[in-house]
Amino acid sequence: MPLTRLPLPHKPEAASRARNRTREVLSLWRVGAGLIATAELAVSELVTNAVRHGVCLCGCTRGTVSLALLGAGDRLRIEVGDPSRTPPRWPTGIESVDREAEEGRGLLLVTALASDWGDHARPLRGKVVWCEFACRATLD
């Protein structure tokens, strides 16, 4: 099972770094261009949310954000960790998104593109938000 982990700074530029690394890794795994573009978009949205909302209980941003890419069989799993234990607010549909807002559509995009998604608390600190995609290639 291919696995790549990348610690990221808790700063806005983390999303760009995560997108670039995702593109590099998935190209090495010979994933198709369409799925690479989709995965880059999902990574960008999840990392942006982690940087923006993933703060410790004290309100600081001392913890790092992490990206993990896992390939297993015909599945690609993306995991983004952050120091907050507060779960994301997954949209229930397009009607749950403020049409006038200039932000707040990232998780809606992820739920529309991914075949599965979710989140879980880490044992000691923080949480992981994840999504999965079906692959044509076998990632073993």
Q: Using one digit for the tens of pLDDT, what is the confidence trace for 115-126?
A: 999 999 988 889
* pLDDT attached to residue 123: 86
- Report angle CA 96, 98, 106 to the nearest 5 degrees: 75
Residue 3's Cβ-side half-sphere holds a number of Cα atoms within 13 Å equal to 3
Tell me if residue 64 falls in helix, strand or coil: coil
DSSP 8-state symbol, 88 = P
Q: How confident is the model at residue 50 (pLDDT cuts 50, 70, 90)?
A: very high
| Contact assessment for residue 132 and residue 115, using Cβ atoms and an 8 Å cutoff | yes
> CA-CA distance, 133 to 92, in Å (whole number)?
19
Q: Which domains does the chain have, with CATH numbers?
A: 3-134 (3.30.565.10)
DSSP 8-state symbol, 97 = S
* pLDDT attached to residue 63: 73
> What's this model's pTM, rounded to 2 decimal places?
0.88
Percent of the residues in the chain that have a pLDDT greater than 70, as a whole number? 83
